Each structure stands twice: as structure tokens, then as C-alpha cells.
Structure 1
Amino acid sequence: MAPLYSTLVAALAGASMATGYQANRPGTQNRYIFAKPYDQSFLDGYSVLKHVGGQGPYSNRQSYGIGRDPPGGCAVDQVIMLKRHGERWPDPGPAANFKTSLNKIYSTNTTSFTGALSFLNSWEYFVPGNRYIALESYNGPYAGLLDGYRHGAEYGVRYGHLWDPTAANITIPMFSSGYERILTTARKFGEGFFGWNYTDVVAMNIIPEQVYMGANSLTPTCLKDNDTAICSQLTASNLQPQFNVAAARLNSQTRNLNLNATDIYNLMQMTAYELNVRGYSDWVDVFSLDEWVAFGYTQDLSYYYCSGPGDKNMRAVGAVYANASLTLLNEGPEKAGAIYLNFCHDTNITPVLAALGLSSPAQDLPLDHIPFPNDYNTANIVPMGGHLTIERLTCNATVNTEAGVYVRHVLNEAVVPFTGCQTGPGFSCSLSNYTSLLSSSLPNFIQTCGFNSSYPQYLDFWWNYNTTHAYNFETQSPIPAEEGLLTYQGTAA
């Protein structure tokens, strides 16, 4: 072995000389020749978090490599954010489905599970009782309450310069839709962002999730959606063939077990929620990565055709928020204020993305196979805690760009350039061009969705908000005594 070793040493020495490497050269760092200054193992696609759709824990969007911080010579002078609630326990419907499929397994009367399901010999269901259904999780690395607070604290560092904590009698409104988990996330975010000032500075505004709000809503909807055909077809019959493979594999390992594709879907969805609550799940490894890719695509189809660009009315629904934010950007921080923090559901964010043309594939998603690449990966778009941030930038002149005001979108912490306008600093868009392109493309929400003049015709609460601190904290038990969800109904105008 000695000659081989000597040859290797000589080869390395020759390589270092050829590349100009000198271990002790003055002014240089001593670098091992095989050390990689840039990681080559980009493994995001191999993470289960990228294949649980909107059901599981937050993960940053896979980026285009554009810097997250403001471009050189630019500063953020206004921020408008729309955030989904954090990680949570399942809603009543899915929770019932989970138990149905679990009962199939337990009804085999197996005394000792083997193979992929051997962990069931000691596993316990993760939902403590019905009173936890649909609420934010509070323990574990992916806890929803932690998501809200941590995100607020991070944005407090990033955008804290937009307000003066020493100013007297300052009030900054925050806006939440009326669902319990949405409001809880908003409060935790506010505590993280504003710190000790949250109690006296913030005025939490709760916007009812009611049809009578018309366009003056964080959760607008069509009175009658006439484009639900494909959405209604996304039933068990559309499940991916990979689920049949998984069912056959598990059935072969447990006597009398008779799982079907729907059961596999239920168990995979349950896995995502167990991650939300416990931070881990033995169920993850029950299924192959190919099967997780298939599960993720079922989520993509649902969001795309039910609340995204695959429904022709969703751009009009998203136009409510897009139009109002456009007004804020043009009024600027001096007139309109600098901080707009808003909280809603996942299916309220996907219409806004459709209206803005963000993450919209060139072709409709196919129903009979998974497209590769898939530009509508829901885990990149609206995971638990997902958020869209619009930044208004004031920039100095550069060799290529004029001094002025620019706009850029940040989706789950990845900069996503605006389609057709990317010539500003950091691939941003000038506010004038952004205004022209967006205002000419947005459909009319009131006409498209069937509202008459008796309903509010536009989003108004950003300019006419309450200044009370009464809603900053819980005024009732955060967990309902009976099964059900706490919601803020408001009053009809």
C-alpha cells in the first residue's frame, strides 16, 4: 500500500501546484484541497415537507437565487403581508376520515403488528380530543403558535425600521379574519413583531368571514361560483395509482387488512397533521418518496382547481386584495402608513397569487398524470404559515436603473419576480409599470361574483379601522368547552 499512498500524495501535491495552491502562502487561508466552498447537496425535493401540500409544516419556497435582502441602494419603506395561520390539528372532516382508516387497521385484531406497521404496537393517536380539532398546535418544532411568534420576531428585525417604538400615542392596526386559528396566529405574530409594545401599540381588527362583507373582506368569495366542475370531480376516483401500490404492500404485511387507495390518502394526510402536532411521525416512512410525490400532487390539483388559477373566477376573488394593495403602494407610507399585516386562510391566498400571476403554470394541471416539472407545488405556495409579502422599495439610481419606487413580491421568503416586469434593482418592477400592468389585467370582482350594490364594493378596512386594543388578546377560553370552532361573526352593515 505504501507505493499507492506515495503516488496519491504526489498527485495531490501536483494538483495543488497546478491550481496555485500554497498551504502557507502569506495572506491566504489554509484550505483543504477537497473542501467545497459551496454545498452541492440541494435536497429540498427529497424532503417530505415538499410533498404534504398545504396540510403540513411550513417550509420556505424553493427560490430562484435572488437575494432576500433589499437590493443595493434600496430600502423598504412599506410592507404589505398576507399570512396563513400556523400549523394545527385537523378539521373535523379529515379527522373523521383518519379514524375510519385507522379502525380498518385495528379491526384486524392483530395482536402484534410487523413490517412497516410494527410501530403501531406502541403508537397512540395524536389528537387528544374533539376540543382540539382545528386549533393551533403549541408543542414541538413545528408548533403553530411558535410559527406565528417566530415569524413575527423575524419580521420585526427585517421591518422594524418602519415604525418608531419611542413615538407617543402611536397606533398600528393589524387585520385578521374571524376564525379562531387565524386570530391566534395574528396575535402571536404581533407579539413577536412588536414585543412589549404589542399591548399598547397594536389595534387588532377582526374582519368577519361573512358573505355580507362583499368586497370589504380578507376572505371574499363568489355568491355563486359557476366554475366548480373540475373541483367537484377531485374525489377518491382521481387518487394516484401509487396509492394502490401502497395499499397492496401494507395489506400483504398484515393479515385480514383490506386498505384501499382512499385509506392510503387518509393516512398520508394524517401523517402531515401529526408532524404539525408532534414534530415527527412514524407514518412518514411507511410510504415511499414516490408515494409522497403522488400525495403532494393531489394537493396541487385541489388548490389549483378549487381556489387557484384553474377556477376562472379566482382571479376576480384575488383582485380584491390585489387592487387594494395597489392603492396602498401608490399612496405610499407618508399617506397610507408603512405596515400592513393581514391574516387569513390558505384558500384566500391562492386567489391573490392567481390575480398577481404568481406561481401560475402556463397550462392547466393534468388530471391523468403528474407533470414534471410541476410549477404549482402547493408546499411552495401555501404550506401552514405560508405568506405573501409585497415590498415597496425606494432606490437610488444605478447604471441600469433610475432612482425611484419599485415593487417586489416575496412568497414564503423567496423573491418571485413579477411577470413581464423584472428590470428594476434585484429583478423588481417600477411602481409605475407595476401599476399599469396590474390595473389593466385585474378582473372585476363585483361583476364576476354576482354582488349587487347593496354589498360593500371594495376593500375599505385598511383606511377605516378601529383603534381599540380590546381584541389584542383572548377574552374567552382559547379551547372551546364543546366541540366546535370560535368565530367572530360581526354584525351586518
Structure 2
Amino acid sequence: MERTCAGLICFCLLPAATAIASSSVFSQSLISQQVFDGENFLKYDGVRGPYVDRVSYGVNREPPAQCSVDQVIMIKRHGERYPASGEGPSIEQALNKVNSTLVGSDNYTGDLAFLKNWTYFVPSDCYEAETWTGPYAGLTDAYNHGKEYRSRYGHLWDGNSIVPLFTSDFQRVIETAQRFGEGFFGNDTYSTKAALNIISESSSQGADSLTPTCRKQDDNAQKICDGLPYHLPQLDVAADRLNAQYHGLNVNWTDVYNLMLMTAYELNTRPTSDWIDVFTTDEWVSFAHIWNTNFYYCSGPGNEYMRAVGSLYVNATLSLLREGPSSGSLFFNFAHDSNITPIITALGIATPSETLTTDQIAFGTRWNIQDIVPMGGRLTIERLNCTDSALAPAGTFVRLVLNEAVVPLQGCQNGPGYSCPLDNYTSFVNGLPSFVAECEVPKSEPQYLGFWWNYTTSNEKNHVRGSRCHGLA
């Protein structure tokens, strides 16, 4: 029996003819009828912990037999990181409340017994920074992703031309782009054959941006967004359970939320976290829903302007797709989670049929943020050149791959491998709202995304370094 682990959840891969000994119901099954995906902690960590692939619809990740990929446009979230600076004080406050009760009391028993030998994992001055230690480190993740894409898409590079990389101007995002580039080109070749283009995150960039902002605000969505995180009864249950175990402990649901937040981040720098089992699956499901709701209203389909924000990137990619490889075959872009969710919203590939609410968990919703923008998450658009087949005549098709799972476009999946004919895809994109018009971009600012056609081939910024946190070489 082969045993593999994803995060902390281990799955047993049984040979097809092996019965599950503990189950009389399945004792004669030739194929396992037990599905463990719902027990994977990484699907409930609020996209604060390590990268995890999207749950696939079963469509083959490889291009269809009669097709070849001739252009790739990717946008990737930065890799695994330490908590944000705004989260650090709240996490430390909750942790101090627990430690002050247990330290000196010789009360290292129960759910928190591990704290006797546990230490906080964030080095000084490292809030916001990409992690560099442990099996799920952000810098390692970015490097390995680059290597993976070199293996997958290396045929699109001639080995001589300089390939631009586009990153927003934020230190951890820049480092992700650099490490991805080193993985794709090789450490030495990256220095001479990649050209890092750093795109300002200033709102004055207007439409020429990887991080566009809308000057108009959805007031209803903003009210909910401003009120997050909100209260769920399952977090009260967790607080009561811990308080009952330790005399003098007085944590509340907010403390529980922050301790769960800390737990997810711990895996970004360590191979395991004892904190995971402090909380039940019901509590982790509630934690995940808080983050689903956060993205839904703050930068997703619950905000009326996010389709327009996302349409900026989608429209620009359409121009590249229609021009084809003559404009370039590899376009690798790097930004933040809240810059990718509007793009997903514009494409409509995860928009739920029901409105998410703060008091009811939407089980089975398409808007599962862990499947959309985990740390290191990516949306990859492939341009397929296909020959005649029984399914479709020869032509050019578009395929969307989200976190390494093919996600067919709703209403346009009649091409090979459930791809969309480029002409049909063009009609879909042309129906999207205008970012410039909807978000009232001033005429004094750029009115279109142009950096893919107006970029530097200089290598001078390939190894640029900003402030480094304590302990990072």
C-alpha cells in the first residue's frame, strides 16, 4: 500500500483489487468507493496556508491529442508567506492570553499539552514576508512551480530570446516572480534570459496595471466586507471547550479565529502544526466560510464592480490570444489574491448560483476560495492550435486552467478537451463591462493595459532586493 500526505492529512492509495478491510459494504469493490478529499485541512485554511491543487472536474490536464499549446498567459498569486502585519498583533494577543494561563501553572494537559515544547514561528520583522523554510515555503513553492512549467511549456521558448516576467511592485510578489523565473530558466540562465518588469501598484496606473482599483464602491458589499471577520457559533463552541479545560482561560470567538489563522500560517514555514487538531472539522468549515464570504464581497461576485475590474485583464489577454504567438508565447504575471478573484469573477467560472450570507454556510458552493486563490494559486490561459476531429474542425481554441485543473467556460465548451473556440471566446469577452467606464478611470491616467506590448528586455531588475526580514539570507 502506498501512503501519500497532502499537508497533514494522509490518504491511503489502495490497489484497485484491494478491499477496504473495515467496510463490509465495500468488501467486494474493485475500485475504492471512499472519497477523502473533504477531510483535507488545506481545503479549510482560508487560503492562509500552503498551496493545494483545485478539485478537478476530471478533464485531462494535458492538451487533447489533436491539439498543441502555442501560447500561455498566467497570473500567479505570491507564494506562501508569514501573517500580514495587520494580523500579527491580534494573533500575538490571542496567543499571549493562552500562554499566560498555562505558563507556570504546570497545566500542560488536554488539547494544548503540546505548548510545553512549542514556540511561535514568526521571526522578528518577518510579517508580510515570503517564507523560506519548511516543505511548503513560499520561495520553494515558486521555484518548483517554475520548474514544473518549464517541463510543461518549455517548448514555447527558443532558448535564446529574452522572456519578460511581469510583477506588481510588492516585495513578496517580486520575490515570487524571481524564484519562479529561476525555476523556469535555471538559476544562471534566469540572469540573462529573463527580464523582470515591475509594474507599479499605484492607483495612478489606471488601466495599465496588474492591480487595478475601482474608484466606485458597492456600498452594500463594503458594509459586509468592513464587518469581517464576523461571528459564527462554531467558534463559540471552540472557545467554551478550551475555557472548560483550563482554569482561568477566557478566550472568546475572536481569539479562536486568530488562533486558527495562526495555525494555517504555521504550515507555511513548518512541516506540521499541532494546532490543527485543537479545532474540530466543523470549526474549520466555519473558518473557511468566513474567508469565502470575505473574498465574495470584497473582491468577488458579491461586489457589483468586480466583473469590470477583472474584465481589464481578460480583455487584454484576448488581444494576445487573437494576435497569437507573433506577440509572444509566454506571459507570466504575478500579483495578489485580490487581483485574481476579480478575473475569476469576470470569467464566471466560480460564480455561485446563490448569494453567500454571513449566517449560513453555503455547502457545495462554486465559490470555494481554497479552490480559487490558495497561496501560490494561478490562473493559466492556454491557446490551443488543433487539427480536425470528430468533435470540432481545425482551429484555435482557448482553455482555462485554474490551480492545475481544467475549468470549462460556462456556455462555451464545445472544443477539444472542453475548450472554447477563439471566436466564441471573443464574443464572450466582448460582452463584459468596461473597466475604464464602470470604474471611472480619469482621462489623465492610462486607458488600457499596455505593458505586455511595451516592456523592457533589460535584466537589471532581475535580482532586485527590498527590505529583508530577520533571518532571511
Q: Deviation at 1:112? A: 2.5
Is the CA contact (8 Å cut-off) linking 1:86 and 1:144 kept in structure 2? yes
Count matched residues.
445
> Whole-Å Cα distance in 1 between the matches of residues 317 and 30 of structure 2?
41
- Is the partner of 2:195 in helix, strand or coil? strand
Structure 1 position 111 matched with structure 2 position 106 = yes
> Whole-Å Cα distance in 2 between the matches of residues 95 and 293 of structure 1?
23
Aligned to 2:302: 310
Is the CA contact (8 Å cut-off) linking 1:244 and 1:260 kept in structure 2? yes
The structure that has the greater radius of gyration is 1
Aligned to 1:267: 259
The one of 229, 232, 237 equivalent to 1:245 is 237
Q: Which amino acid aligns with 1:435?
A: T
The one of 250, 258, 262 equivalent to 1:258 is 250
Structure 1 position 417 matched with structure 2 position 412 = no
Structure 1 position 219 matched with structure 2 position 214 = no
Structure 1 position 295 matched with structure 2 position 287 = yes
What's the CA shift string for 1:121-146, capped at 9, x where partnerless? Answer: 111111121x2111111111110001
Aligned to 2:151: 157
Aligned to 1:471: 461
> Whole-Å Cα distance in 2 between the matches of residues 352 and 475 of structure 1?
29
Relative to structure 1, is the Cα distance of residues 470 and 51 closer, same or farther in structure 2, using a 3 angstrom cutoff? same
Structure 1 position 385 matched with structure 2 position 376 = yes
Q: Deviation at 1:477? A: 5.4
Structure 1 position 136 matched with structure 2 position 136 = no
The one of 182, 186, 193 equivalent to 2:173 is 182
Relative to structure 1, is the Cα distance of residues 32 and 252 closer, same or farther in structure 2, using a 3 angstrom cutoff? closer
What's the CA shift string for 1:8-45, capped at 9, x where partnerless? Answer: xxxxxxxxxxxxxxxxxxxxxxx967597644443121
What's the CA shift string for 1:245-290, capped at 9, x where partnerless? Answer: 0000000000111111111100000000001111211100000011
> Whole-Å Cα distance in 1 between the matches of residues 290 and 465 of structure 2?
39
The one of 54, 58, 61 equivalent to 1:65 is 58
> Whole-Å Cα distance in 1 between the matches of residues 74 and 54 of structure 2?
16
Structure 1 position 77 matched with structure 2 position 67 = no
Written as runs of structure 1 = structure 2, the 5 A alignment for 1:395-434 is 395-434=386-425
- Is the partner of 1:132 in helix, strand or coil? coil
Aligned to 2:312: 320
Q: Deviation at 1:364? A: 1.2
Relative to structure 1, is the Cα distance of residues 455 and 399 closer, same or farther in structure 2, using a 3 angstrom cutoff? same
Q: Deviation at 1:102? A: 1.0
Give RMSD over aligned pairs: 1.8
Aligned to 1:194: 185
Between the two proteins, what is the percent identity of the paired residues?
A: 51
Q: Deviation at 1:61? A: 0.2
Q: Deviation at 1:476? A: 5.2
Aligned to 2:444: 454
Aligned to 2:23: none
What's the CA shift string for 1:336-372, capped at 9, x where partnerless? Answer: 1100000000000000000111111112112211122
Q: Which amino acid aligns with 2:383?
A: R
Relative to structure 1, is the Cα distance of residues 33 and 470 closer, same or farther in structure 2, using a 3 angstrom cutoff? closer
Q: Which amino acid aligns with 1:396?
A: T
What's the CA shift string for 1:206-256, capped at 9, x where partnerless? Answer: 0011011001000000124233434345335x3211000000000000011
TM norm structure 1 = 0.87
TM norm structure 2 = 0.91
Q: Deviation at 1:113? A: 2.3
Is the CA contact (8 Å cut-off) linking 1:56 and 1:276 kept in structure 2? yes
Relative to structure 1, is the Cα distance of residues 477 and 445 closer, same or farther in structure 2, using a 3 angstrom cutoff? closer
Q: Deviation at 1:451? A: 1.6
Aligned to 2:45: 52
Moved more, 196-205 or 315-324: 196-205
Is the CA contact (8 Å cut-off) linking 1:393 and 1:407 kept in structure 2? yes
> Whole-Å Cα distance in 2 between the matches of residues 342 and 83 of structure 1?
6
Q: Which amino acid aligns with 2:127?
A: I
Aligned to 2:10: none
Aligned to 2:328: 337
> Whole-Å Cα distance in 2 between the matches of residues 330 and 39 of structure 1?
44
Is the CA contact (8 Å cut-off) linking 1:53 and 1:377 kept in structure 2? no
- Is the partner of 1:361 in helix, strand or coil? coil
Q: Deviation at 1:82? A: 0.3
> Whole-Å Cα distance in 2 between the matches of residues 479 and 33 of structure 1?
50
Is the CA contact (8 Å cut-off) linking 1:211 and 1:223 kept in structure 2? no
Structure 1 position 86 matched with structure 2 position 79 = yes
